[in-house]
Structure 1
Amino acid sequence: MLKFLESYNEKVKKNVLENAPKNAKYTSNDVQKEILHILATKVRNSIREEIGDVKFCIIVDEARDESKKEQIAIVLRFVTLDSFVKERFFDLVHVTDTCATTLKKELISVLSHYNLQVENIRGQGYDGASNMLGEWNGLQVLFLKDSPQAYYVHCFAHRLQLALVEASREVLQIHEFFTHLNSIVTIVSASSKRHDQLQEAQTIENANLVAQNELETGKSVNQISTLQRVGDTRWSSHFNSICSLVKMFTATNIVLNNIIQDGTTYAQRGEAYGVSKILLSFEFIFTLHLMKEIMGITNVLCQALQQQSQDILNAMHIVSTSKLLLQQLRDGRWCNFLANVKDFCEKHEIEVPNMSAQYVFERGRSRQPIVTVEHHYRIDVFLATIDS
């Protein structure tokens, strides 16, 4: 920052960087924090002037920083005099704990310091944690007592994502699949060396596919990426993780084989060997493609609900369309879906079981009906997952 100021401000160059004593360059931690505090105060005062006397909404989320301190981020949403809706990040406040009364006390302290009246709050936006939405002692209830017009909204996209994760994991095979997926991504992305191996393998694979005319070429096409991690509060992260694994399946398998052969410890080699067997199993490939199909449909709805401006009628229409597409997948696309899974397995030399043979359940699961392999995958996994 000092070098930048020096480039166009002669006073800074002469008085601070050239002629000032060596111990007065204003680069100590205390001075830096003081400067940042002054800047932050100026920004908050500017936001306060922008709000004026209009009604406003508060959006709050809690987080823990690297030093394990609990903090709350405060965002103010309001309509300007020229009818523009604006959201402004206002403050980041350290709290001793995250119970509702403490959060309310800190919020009121910040608002009152800038003369923002609690009575002018017309909306509250939090996540779905019990200390936030609790109907008896939650933060939203405490503010409603002071301002009955401060309606509470739990982010629709966040609620949808939590519901989708919960529903999908009701099916045991899907729950197990996401556990395995997380293990694969973690092992392959554990170090810079493995990341470099993954990208190198992907580059070679892309070159081979282009040579065989199986991959399009052009600007911004076939960019080298990496495997994506999943997060339960972001359903789209599940979709991105699965798409990245499908795209980089061969490269991922190569990296796992490298670890099996060259891993520095027996634990690394054994772990890679275990997930490699799972990666090359028909059940994993089947579930991988099933969740890619389902999440490809629900991801459109997730993205729509995260738009800054959303028409509620349009959102309801997208919900109906998503349910219709899932119903169509359930009723009439089993044969095409299974054919795609088999094609993927044949391409990657993965053994496809005889669909007419009897399915053998795992040991310990007694009194299971005698069913075929196709019946198991179609009824117990495909239909059960979509229905859930």
Structure 2
Amino acid sequence: MDRGTIKTQEEYRARLIIILGVIRFLLLQALSFRGHDESSISKNRFFLEMMSWYKEKDLNAKTLLDSTGGNHLMTSHGIQLQLCQACAEETTKAIIDDIGDINFSLPVDESRDASIKEQMAMVLRYVDKHGYAIERFIGIKHVGDTRVASLKAALDGMFLKHGLSMSKLRGQGYNGASNMRGEFRGLQRLILDENPYAFYIHCFAHQLQLVVVAVAKCCSSVLDFFNHVTLIVNTVNASCRRHDELAQEQHDNIVSQLESREIFSGRGKDQATNLVRPS
């Protein structure tokens, strides 16, 4: 009975390692686990299809996974979520261990998810033992409202959960919202009352956005430029035909300039590309 139990445990562990390998790959590549159709005839079952591919490439894995009973497959959606949560906890633990007892700063922002829920995203920025500035996303917390007290309570809860000390905080960065940066009643003031060394810095990305808006408003030519660019983009992207016509026109212009030696070909020169969507 003991030998049978040990063998069963080893097989269970081996199946778990295979499934965790598939889950880690999907998580690292930010791929979906499930498609719109999870029936046996569907080809969009991302997690299950990858498991099938794995078994085709590794006969030992196929034997191991096919020999188990129906209750030990570990492929249900609930178990997938549990394993994903376990991966998230291990990743967070590694981040906290890397921070150790050193000081850190705290950028925080508010965002809404696809279900229109208000959430607070927390990031830790610190200098590691090699002297590199590291920025790590530590968690996201749903908040019922954006009042200062609610944000502070959510922040304290995340600090307590991860074993972080407010006394090690040396910087805090937010956007320009009054509930975040308020000098007298904002979140930064509550943190400063608790730790006077947690200096507040207005997020540079938000500052740059405000600068661009201010410059555009005070300079009519810049304002006209952005307005015309917006109109062109909206007009072209509203129609696939117009988009193709514009792309073909640009291609013909580049070919003509290359033939006339006005421009020259080469790596990084005049290739078709796309702008990254601004966040």
The normalised TM-score by structure 2 is 0.71
Corresponding residue of 1:211 = 259
CA distance in 1, matches of 2:149, 2:123: 19
User: Are 2:136 and 1:88 equivalent residues in the alignment?
Assistant: yes
Q: Secondary structure at the match of 1:169?
A: helix
Judging changes above 3 Å, is the alpha-carbon distance between structure 1 residues 171 and 163 closer, same or farther for their aligned structure 2 residues? same
Q: Secondary structure at the match of 2:218?
A: coil
Corresponding residue of 2:188 = 140
2:155 maps to amino acid:
L
1:230-284 CA-to-partner distances (Å, cap 9, x unmatched) read 86xx8xxxxxxxxxxxxxxxxxxxxxxxxxxxxxxxxxxxxxxxxxxxxxxxxxx
CA distance in 2, matches of 1:53, 1:59: 19
Corresponding residue of 1:150 = 198
CA distance in 2, matches of 1:108, 1:96: 15
CA distance in 2, matches of 1:194, 1:9: 49
Corresponding residue of 1:68 = 116
1:121-175 CA-to-partner distances (Å, cap 9, x unmatched) read 1110112222211112211111111111100111335313312321321345543
CA distance in 2, matches of 1:61, 1:21: 47
Per the TM alignment, residue 82 of structure 1 is displaced from its structure 2 partner at its CA by 4.7
Corresponding residue of 1:44 = 92
User: Do 1:56 and 1:121's aligned partners in 2 also have CA atoms closer than 8 Å?
Assistant: yes
For residues 114-133 of structure 1, what are the structure 2 equivalents within 5 Å?
A: 114-133=162-181
User: Are 2:63 and 1:14 equivalent residues in the alignment?
Assistant: yes
Per the TM alignment, residue 192 of structure 1 is displaced from its structure 2 partner at its CA by 4.4
1:115 maps to amino acid:
G
User: Are 2:149 and 1:106 equivalent residues in the alignment?
Assistant: no
Greater helix share, structure number = 1
User: Do 1:75 and 1:91's aligned partners in 2 also have CA atoms closer than 8 Å?
Assistant: yes
User: Do 1:76 and 1:87's aligned partners in 2 also have CA atoms closer than 8 Å?
Assistant: yes
User: Are 2:248 and 1:200 equivalent residues in the alignment?
Assistant: yes
1:172-209 CA-to-partner distances (Å, cap 9, x unmatched) read 55434423321211121235444333323222221122
CA distance in 2, matches of 1:56, 1:214: 52
CA distance in 2, matches of 1:8, 1:146: 57
Corresponding residue of 1:182 = 230
Corresponding residue of 1:286 = none
Per the TM alignment, residue 50 of structure 1 is displaced from its structure 2 partner at its CA by 1.2
Per the TM alignment, residue 89 of structure 1 is displaced from its structure 2 partner at its CA by 1.5
1:14 maps to amino acid:
T
For residues 340-351 of structure 1, what are the structure 2 equivalents within 5 Å?
A: none
For residues 310-321 of structure 1, what are the structure 2 equivalents within 5 Å?
A: none
User: Do 1:131 and 1:137's aligned partners in 2 also have CA atoms closer than 8 Å?
Assistant: yes
User: Are 2:214 and 1:166 equivalent residues in the alignment?
Assistant: yes
CA distance in 1, matches of 2:225, 2:124: 40
Structure 2 unaligned segments of length 5 or more: list them: 1-21, 23-49
RMSD of aligned Cα (Å):
2.9
CA distance in 2, matches of 1:60, 1:176: 34
CA distance in 2, matches of 1:59, 1:83: 20
CA distance in 2, matches of 1:20, 1:196: 54
Corresponding residue of 1:29 = 77
CA distance in 1, matches of 2:149, 2:103: 23
1:298-356 CA-to-partner distances (Å, cap 9, x unmatched) read xxxxxxxxxxxxxxxxxxxxxxxxxxxxxxxxxxxxxxxxxxxxxxxxxxxxxxxxxxx
Q: Percent identity?
A: 35
Judging changes above 3 Å, is the alpha-carbon distance between structure 1 residues 150 and 173 closer, same or farther for their aligned structure 2 residues? same
CA distance in 2, matches of 1:7, 1:201: 48
CA distance in 1, matches of 2:77, 2:242: 37
Per the TM alignment, residue 38 of structure 1 is displaced from its structure 2 partner at its CA by 0.5
Corresponding residue of 1:243 = none
Structure 1 unaligned segments of length 5 or more: list them: 235-388
CA distance in 2, matches of 1:9, 1:102: 51
CA distance in 2, matches of 1:148, 1:14: 61
